[in-house]
Amino acid sequence: MAELLPRLAIAVPGADEVVVPASLFPRAVSEVWLEIGFGGGEHVAEQVRRHPDVGIIGCEVFLNGVASLLGHLNASGIDTVRIFPEDARLLLPALPEASLGRVFVLFPDPWPKKRHAERRFIGPANLAALARVMADGAELRVASDDPVYVEWALGHLGDHPAFTARQITQERAALPDDWPPTRYERKLLAGYPPTFMRFCRKPRT
């Protein structure tokens, strides 16, 4: 970790600093995707295996999760992952408009207590930030096993003028082939069914 993380980590941008996603990688990539809160990192690792031409930025505040992703990447030769080991909201303002081709928010903290609801990632301020950095037609993938969070997310996504629903399902078999399960999801499969949401960034006018 001491050797690999410094090579892959993105520093917290300074005031007015611009971080061009495609410039973070040592070779050209077709587009850049962002995973917010990657947990153990298995989803990021599987996505880069399936899409070797895509660069992926993973954001995770917990050191154990960062270490887990580094374990998936170590000795793999994969050079298309970069890690932001901080709150994603510190990175989003530095990204240029329409610079991301896909965003993942998979099983985020649901902040179940009513007084903490405004801390949920899917909400007006963060959706506005995502709408700015996502390219026209880019896909936002959200998943949660918390019914309150699902209702909250669907309400805010449905109300936001930049997004339109593409798929909402509890059937994993109905998902695209390139939506591998996370470790957290695998632990859930015998319990309450998660809801999977795919929303599309509408074309700018």
pLDDT in tens, 28-72: 999 999 999 999 999 999 999 999 999 999 999 999 999 999 999
Domains and CATH numbers, the chain: 4-11+19-201 (3.40.50.150)
pTM tops 0.75: yes
Least reliable range by pLDDT among 15-29, 91-105, 136-150, 180-194:
180-194
Q: Phi and psi (nearest 5°) for 31?
A: -165, 175
* Angle CA 195–197–203, to nearest 5: 170
Residues 6+ positions from 106 with CB-CB distance below 8 Å: 35, 37, 39, 43, 141, 142, 143, 182, 184, 185
pLDDT value at 189 more than 80: no
Catalytic residue among 109, 136, 159, 178: 109
The packing angle between helices 147-159 and 124-133, to 10°, is 60
> Residue 82's beta-bridge partner residues?
57
Indicate the Cα dihedral angle 31, 32, 38, 40, nearest 10°. 60
Residues 6+ positions from 78 with CB-CB distance below 8 Å: 45, 48, 49
Annotation marks residue 53 as catalytic: no
94-150: pLDDT as tens digits: 999 999 999 999 999 887 777 778 889 999 999 999 999 999 999 999 999 999 999
Q: Which two tokens stand for residue 54?
A: 């895509």
- Return d(Cα 139, Cα 146) in angstroms, integer: 22
> Could you tell me which of 65, 156, 54 has the C-alpha nearest to residue 103?
54
